[in-house]
Amino acid sequence: MRGLTEANLKKLAGARSFERGLGYLDAVSGVEVGDGWVTATVHGTERYEVELTLDGPGGPVGACDCPFGLEGNFCKHLVALGLRMLAQRESLPRQRKAARERAQDLDGWLSALTKDELLAVLREQIEEDRQLRRRLELRAAGARGDLAAVRTRIRDLLDVTPFAQYEYVEYADARAYADQAGQVVSAIRALTGSGRAADAITLAREAMRLLAEAVESVDDADGRLGQVGADLADAHLEACRAARPDPEELARWLAGHALGDLDDGLSDIDPLDYEDVLGEAGMAVLRTTAVEAWRDNRRGWAERCLMERLARAGGDVDTVIAVHAADLAPNGHTHLVVARELDTAQRCDEALRWAERGIREARDLAAVDTALVDYLCDRYTRADRLPDAVTLRRDHFGARRSLLAYQQLRAAARAAGRWPAERDGALDLLRADAGRHESRYGGPVLIDALLDDKDADAAWQAATRTGAHDRQWGTLADQARAGRPADALGVYLRLAEPLTKQTGNAVYAQLVALLLNIRDCHHRLGTDEEFAVYVAALRTAQRRKRNLMRLMDEHGL
């Protein structure tokens, strides 16, 4: 119990979960204390089962079947149980001692029973516990080698009917179904362990198919069936390693699974995990099957993935490139992927040609993958081909006309010593856009570009001539306030007016910030009395907005 403290609970859960756990103390019920562990039920959004191990080597360890707990987190429900135990820590040693004594008494009683008496107890439990009966029936069928019976029990375990309402298993019942389905994995592994791995392979494949059919009717929001599927895949691999099935047949089955013919979407099987089982002959069949499937459908996602996976594992860069080249994206992204593959293979000249090809073949330079443009400009710069970098940035800016494209053109042109000329041409394009009212959302890019160039006077003139977004006018006023306070004052007053008709703390914060700027403008103009009259009238009109009044008071307005 030394590790069970509020400080440790907060450390395990984090401040937020700890604080939320405080509100669940009354939701803890059914507490059972064992020797070193405590279990309970906590009623939250659903009813959750929690278990707290008290004597872990690093302090308390917990498990909860809530969604957050299933991700391995120490959740608020565990915090609530831990706090409940701390509240009764004086009596906990006595409860643990009693638990030990009960366990010893039970063990002593069972040890004293005869075989017939033990069987009677077990039969009684089987009658009362359907899940226990099914598990034991499955083990019995496996032990006597009754493959038909095992197959029947597996079908029963994966049948959703007992858990379904209106032919669908709701979230509240999904856990019970997943727990039952998990027994199939245990049964298949038991077959492998008892020397019947070949049967385990057959049943694992059947179980994967049945689980894939079942998941369509289950709310598996917690991913429990996904875990069952992954465990089935592991059990299948274990059985294959034990039984050493025909490598060519296994290769064809793995290819069919990967290509979607048998893919259940749950059992994420990687054919390369079976390389030691397949051997050279099986891998050859796997590669041949993958190539044939890819040639028949070069744009198929499953075909491309399998082909690329095998080629990459074999170090076959040309095949990896051929897979990508068979389905080139119109925005140049695939060309970039190929270029990076070639760079990794230290085939840099080919990589550069692929990147340039991506730009040439792009249907719309405005929609081209910007990472491709960045990659190519970086290559040009490192090769001291600065004019080429400027040309690409200019073309890209001409297509996109964004502030970022302008900034990138400026950086490339400055590096090449060509910015003044490039700037004139870029600004001409932006002026034409602004003149035709083809401005981007948030105001003309021309204004943002001039502001980014620190050319405040030109930006003000452009805004006056073509119009600007309120955001841009605010920035213009901020930059002009020191030298042109009268112009800035007009902007601030206009921006403040609509805010006086709105409510909300965020609005009040914006309004107060503008009022401070208005006060500064009046002070620079020597018209402080005029500001006092303005603020007095504003306070009178807005007096019902208590939060605004409080905020103005805090800033001396």
Q: Do the Cβ atoms of 465 and 482 come closer than 8 Å?
A: no
Question: Bridge partners of 371?
Answer: none
The three-state (H, E, C) secondary structure of 359-411, written as one string = HHHCCCHHHCCHHHHHHHHHHHHHCCCHHHHHHHHHHHHHHHCCHHHHHHHHH
Q: Of 401, 441, 448, 442, which is closest to residue 425 (Cα–Cα)?
A: 401
Q: Tens digits of per-residue pLDDT, 470-495?
A: 999 999 999 999 999 999 999 999 99
Q: Tens digits of per-residue pLDDT, 143-183?
A: 777 788 888 889 988 999 888 888 898 887 888 888 889 88
For residue 265, pLDDT beyond 70: no
CA angle 62, 64, 67 (to 5 degrees): 135
Q: Which of 59-68, 359-368, 379-388 has the lowest mean pLDDT?
A: 59-68
Instruction: Please state, for a pLDDT cut of 90, what percent of the chain lies above it.
Output: 59
Residue-by-residue DSSP string for 111-142: HHS-HHHHHHHHHHHHHH-HHHHHHHHHHHHH
Rounded CA gap, 489 and 477, in Å? 8
SS3 531: helix
Instruction: Please state, for a pLDDT cut of 70, what percent of the chain lies above it.
Output: 97
What integer pLDDT is reported at residue 438 of this predicted model? Answer: 55
Q: Which of 221-225, 374-378, 411-415 has the lowest mean pLDDT?
A: 221-225
Rounded CA gap, 151 and 165, in Å? 25
Which own/partner pairs from 157-164 qualify as long-range (CB within 8 Å, at least 24 positions apart)? 157/181, 157/183, 157/184, 158/184, 158/207, 158/210, 158/211, 158/214, 159/214, 160/214, 160/217, 160/218, 164/217
More confidently predicted of 153 and 406: 406
Q: Which residues contact 226 (CB under 8 A, 6 or more apart)?
A: 220, 266
What integer pLDDT is reported at residue 437 of this predicted model? Answer: 63
**Cα-to-chain-centroid distance, residue 50:** 26
State the average pLDDT over residues 137-141.
Answer: 77
CA angle 256, 257, 262 (to 5 degrees): 90
DSSP state of 168: B
Rounded CA gap, 159 and 114, in Å? 37
Q: Of 534, 531, 477, 539, which is closest to residue 508 (Cα–Cα)?
A: 539
What integer pLDDT is reported at residue 349 of this predicted model? Answer: 95
Rounded CA gap, 241 and 173, in Å? 35
State the average pLDDT over residues 377-389.
Answer: 95
Q: Tens digits of per-residue pLDDT, 199-221?
A: 999 999 999 999 988 988 998 87
**Cα-to-chain-centroid distance, residue 548:** 40
Residue-by-residue DSSP string for 255-277: HHHHTTSS--SSS---GGGGHHH
Q: Tens digits of per-residue pLDDT, 368-379?
A: 999 999 999 999
What integer pLDDT is reported at residue 57 of this predicted model? Answer: 65
State the average pLDDT over residues 391-405.
Answer: 94
Provide Rg for the chain, Cα atoms. 36
State the average pLDDT over residues 228-235.
Answer: 93
pLDDT band for position 453 (cuts 50, 70, 90): very high
User: Would the pTM of this model clear 0.85, i.e. be above it?
Assistant: no
For residue 193, pLDDT beyond 80: yes
For residue 1, pLDDT beyond 60: no
Q: Which two tokens stand for residue 411?
A: 């950086």
Q: Do the Cβ atoms of 78 and 52 come closer than 8 Å?
A: yes
Rounded CA gap, 134 and 131, in Å? 5
> Would you report the helix, strand and coil content of the chain in percent, each value rounded to 5?
70, 5, 25
For residue 264, pLDDT beyond 60: no
b/e per residue 8-17 (b: at least 16 CB within 10 A): bbbebbeeeb
Question: Bridge partners of 37?
Answer: 53
What integer pLDDT is reported at residue 277 of this predicted model? Answer: 95
State the average pLDDT over residues 71-75.
Answer: 85
Q: Which residue type occupies 185? A: V
Q: Do the Cβ atoms of 230 and 182 come closer than 8 Å?
A: no
State the average pLDDT over residues 333-355.
Answer: 95
Q: Do the Cβ atoms of 156 and 134 come closer than 8 Å?
A: yes
Q: Tens digits of per-residue pLDDT, 543-556?
A: 999 999 999 999 99
Q: For residue 4, what are the CA distances in angstroms to 60, 73, 85, 86, 92?
A: 6, 17, 9, 7, 12
Beta strands in 208-311 (DSSP E): none
Q: Do the Cβ atoms of 214 and 158 come closer than 8 Å?
A: yes
Share the mean pLDDT of the chain. Answer: 90
What integer pLDDT is reported at residue 439 of this predicted model? Answer: 58
pLDDT band for position 72 (cuts 50, 70, 90): confident
Q: Do the Cβ atoms of 479 and 456 come closer than 8 Å?
A: yes
What integer pLDDT is reported at residue 60 of this predicted model? Answer: 80
For residue 262, pLDDT beyond 70: no
Give the DSSP H or E segment for 43: strand 37-43
Q: Which residues contact 429 (CB under 8 A, 6 or more apart)?
A: 397, 398, 401
pLDDT band for position 63 (cuts 50, 70, 90): confident
